[in-house]
Amino acid sequence: MTKFIFVTGGVVSSLGKGIASASIGRLLESRGLKVTIAKFDPYLNVDPGTMSPYQHGEVFVLDDGGETDLDLGHYERFLTARLTRNNSVSSGKIYNSVISKERRGDYLGKTVQVVPHITNEIKESILAISKEQKVDVCIIEVGGTIGDIESLPFLEAVRQFRYDMGKENAINIHVTLVPYIDASGEMKTKPTQKTVAELRGIGIQPDVILCRSEFPMPEDIKAKISLFCNVEPDAVYDAVDAASIYEVPLLFKAQGLDDFLVRKLHLKASPHAQLDKWSHFVRQVYHPKKELEIAIAGKYVELHDAYKSIIESFIHAGVANATKVKLRWVDSEEVEKKGAAKLLKGVSGILVPGGFGDRGIEGKIQVIKYAREKKIPFFGICLGMQCAVIEFARHVMKLPKANSGEFNPNTPDEVISMMADQLNIKSLGGTMRLGTYPCKVEKNSKAYQAYKQALIHERHRHRYEFNNAYRERAKAAGLKLSGVSPDGKLVEMVELPNHPWFVGVQFHPELKSRPLAPHPLFREFVKAAVKYGAKPIMKKK
Ligand code: GLN
């Protein structure tokens, strides 16, 4: 039988509930339990696929093509489990389903209301996850902050669900903030007391209080929170700021949070947490031997959340190369004004990430030209690969007007064109080429050197592709098509053989990199960058 942990947040947003949920998941997995994590978000979009990265950060794509919140990325990176689109539930998705049922006549004769129809739908979606994934523990992170009107239906559903399931089967962990006030030299518990009072006002008594704080909390502060918030004395944990998110499961472990949860939920877990490899990884994150700088040339560079999985992939690949990868954020529109050489001086590698629309495209093309000509390791992802093809077509194949149909539908040389099965699609939500597809890797290639496999599976999110009408000319000019779909129809990877490392991929490798299993292409890209220009880190005496 599946046990449930609901994670809510109070006081302020951005408390790191996602990392907390992921870390609790990792910790329970390390006790031999099968765990999944889902995110319930209050917004009315059916999924985040139609939102700008500025609104919502990166869209994380799952194997089944589900477009989800970036927190699902943290869940997958911390867990061994693979998640499905059921793990991502928004108010929009719930309302959409209830309204379709109403139109079908499923509720014939009834007035359809938030309680019980919306709340029942939420409860069913919780059960659907446990039924599908047959886990020991299902963790559900409820988006938003207690006090938001938007998340009330979710919280009401959680209240009912816990009542239905009983205390030993469904618990609530409330994440709060315990600020340190410099002037008085004290940690303050009042915001935590207030948010717990508000949570209790909607019928949810938390079982665990997880306090974000700058410093570990003294015992008297924990005792005060326990007393005022009506939780057991050993149910108050601190979540101090960690230099690496990957240390958080270890910090929770050190306080015995796993033992508490195993006891509370009567879980049949192994007696000790197995976190050796994970701790080793964290030690390596903190003790690199070399360092280097890699440029990310994109258009959402002010908002690093837009490239969350890429950032994490570099941490994993950095550890695999005993190297600290520092990222230099280069705004591709700035490149158009100042030139590539000025903004890229000193970097050992250049990555052009995915994106949509024509803003900043010419800057990206300049960056790629610079990487190609100066023989700096280059990695192009999705739009980055498409731009690499445009750059190659313009400057090597001598098609100066080459472009993508996305940026200029009237170009005489549409080297990147809309995929055939996308042509008649009118609505934009969830209709791209999404999710995992297989790809054949050519033996004699950098891609094969990385994967060491002839057939790979990677996740996609795009509408445009390499135009096959240019295949032969591109090959003749020296572009290697190192990965194609098994039917040979789609070009999935390109590379330049006479360059130290120049690889473009139509998929999103960053979605599959894990701390203990870095993505082979990121690992090899960083390796090439190390060769190009890593500096040793001097130990302080
Ligand atoms: N805009 C491009 C396309 O739709 C690239 C998408 C992406 O980078 N995810 O094909």
d(CA 263, CA 278): 24
340 CB less than 6 Å from ligand 1? Answer: no
- CATH number for position 245: 3.40.50.300
Q: Are residues 253 and 367 in the same domain?
A: no
Which ligand 1 atom minimizes the distance to the CA of 353? 8
Cα 461 to middle of ligand 1, angstroms: 7
Which pLDDT tens digit goes with each residue over 139-153? Answer: 999 999 998 999 999
The answer to the question of residue 480 being in a domain is: yes
Q: Are residues 218 and 302 in the same domain?
A: no
pLDDT digit string (tens) for the chain, length 541 residues: 999 999 999 888 888 999 999 999 999 999 999 999 999 999 999 988 888 888 888 999 999 999 999 999 999 999 998 999 999 999 999 999 999 999 999 998 999 999 999 999 999 999 999 999 999 999 999 999 998 999 999 999 999 999 999 989 999 999 999 999 999 889 999 999 999 999 999 999 999 999 999 999 999 999 999 999 999 999 999 999 999 999 999 999 999 999 999 999 999 999 999 999 999 999 999 999 999 999 999 988 888 889 999 999 999 999 999 999 999 999 999 999 999 999 999 999 999 999 998 899 999 999 999 999 999 999 999 999 999 999 999 999 999 999 999 999 999 999 999 998 888 888 888 889 999 999 999 999 999 999 999 999 999 999 999 999 999 999 999 999 999 999 999 999 999 999 999 999 999 999 999 999 999 999 999 999 999 998 898 776 5
Residue of 209, 188, 194, 122 lying closest to 161 (CA atoms): 122
Q: Determine the distance from the C-alpha atom of residue 485 to the mean position of all C-alpha atoms in its chain, rounded to a whole number.
A: 25
Which ligand 1 atom minimizes the distance to the CA of 508? 9
User: Tokens 């979009």 — which residue?
Assistant: 45
Which pLDDT tens digit goes with each residue over 100-158? Answer: 999 999 998 999 999 999 999 999 999 999 999 999 999 999 999 998 999 999 999 99
53 CB less than 6 Å from ligand 1? Answer: no
Q: Are residues 303 and 155 in the same domain?
A: no
> How many other β-carbons are positioned within 10 Å of the β-carbon of residue 425?
12
Query: Could you please report the per-residue DSSP string of 22-44?
Result: HHHHHHHHTTT--EEEEEEE--S
Cα 190 to middle of ligand 1, angstroms: 47
Q: Are residues 293 and 256 in the same domain?
A: no
Residue partners of 522: CB distance under 8 A and separation at least 6:
313, 314, 316, 317, 379, 509, 510, 513
Residue that terminates a domain, selected from 257, 280, 303: 280
The answer to the question of residue 193 being in a domain is: yes
Angle at 69 (CA atoms; ends 104, 311), nearest 5 degrees: 160
- Alpha carbon of 58 to those of 23, 44, 69: distances in Å? 20, 18, 7
The answer to the question of residue 16 being in a domain is: yes
Q: Are residues 340 and 261 in the same domain?
A: no
Residue of 508, 428, 449 lying closest to 58 (CA atoms): 508
Q: Are residues 199 and 94 in the same domain?
A: yes
382 CB less than 6 Å from ligand 1? Answer: yes
The answer to the question of residue 441 being in a domain is: yes
> How many other β-carbons are positioned within 10 Å of the β-carbon of residue 291?
16
Residue that terminates a domain, selected from 228, 247, 280: 280
Q: Are residues 306 and 402 in the same domain?
A: yes
Tell the burial category of 280 from Cβ atoms under 10 Å away from its Cβ (0-12, 13-18, 19+).
exposed
Q: Are residues 237 and 338 in the same domain?
A: no
| CB of 317 closer than 8 Å to CB of 526 | yes
Which ligand 1 atom minimizes the distance to the CA of 406? 1
Q: Which helix (H) or strand (E) holds 61?
A: strand 60-61
> How many other β-carbons are positioned within 10 Å of the β-carbon of residue 338?
13
49 CB less than 6 Å from ligand 1? Answer: no
Residues assigned a catalytic role: 382, 508, 510
Residue of 29, 257, 231 lying closest to 138 (CA atoms): 29
Q: Whose CA is nearest to atom 7 of ligand 1?
A: 354
Positive or negative CA dihedral for 435, 436, 442, 446?
positive
Q: Whose CA is nearest to atom 1 of ligand 1?
A: 356
Q: Are residues 230 and 303 in the same domain?
A: no
The answer to the question of residue 541 being in a domain is: no
Residue that terminates a domain, selected from 253, 280, 307: 280
Q: 214: domain range? A: 3-280
Query: Could you please report the per-residue DSSP string of 387-445?
Result: HHHHHHHHHTS--TT-EETTT-TT-S-EEEEE-GGGTT----TT-SEEEEEEEEE-SSS
212 CB less than 6 Å from ligand 1? Answer: no
Which parts of 452-519 fold into alpha helices (H)?
A: 471-476
460 CB less than 6 Å from ligand 1? Answer: no
Which ligand 1 atom minimizes the distance to the CA of 381? 8
User: Tokens 């502060």 — which residue?
Assistant: 221
Cα 245 to middle of ligand 1, angstroms: 29
pTM of the model: 0.95
Cα 383 to middle of ligand 1, angstroms: 5
Q: Are residues 453 and 502 in the same domain?
A: yes
Structure tokens at 85: 């689109």
Q: Are residues 299 and 231 in the same domain?
A: no
Q: Which helix (H) or strand (E) holds 9?
A: strand 3-9
433 CB less than 6 Å from ligand 1? Answer: no
Q: Whose CA is nearest to atom 5 of ligand 1?
A: 383
- CATH number for position 341: 3.40.50.880
Q: Which helix (H) or strand (E) holds 504?
A: strand 502-505
Which ligand 1 atom minimizes the distance to the CA of 416? 10
Cα 495 to middle of ligand 1, angstroms: 18
Query: Could you please report the per-residue DSSP string of 226-247?
Result: HHHHT--GGGEEEEE--SSGGG
Q: Are residues 224 and 340 in the same domain?
A: no
d(CA 324, CA 535): 10
523 CB less than 6 Å from ligand 1? Answer: no
The answer to the question of residue 391 being in a domain is: yes
Residue partners of 122: CB distance under 8 A and separation at least 6:
40, 89, 94, 153, 154, 157
Structure tokens at 78: 């911390």
380 CB less than 6 Å from ligand 1? Answer: no
Q: How many domains does the chain have?
A: 2
| CB of 441 closer than 8 Å to CB of 456 | yes
The answer to the question of residue 405 being in a domain is: yes
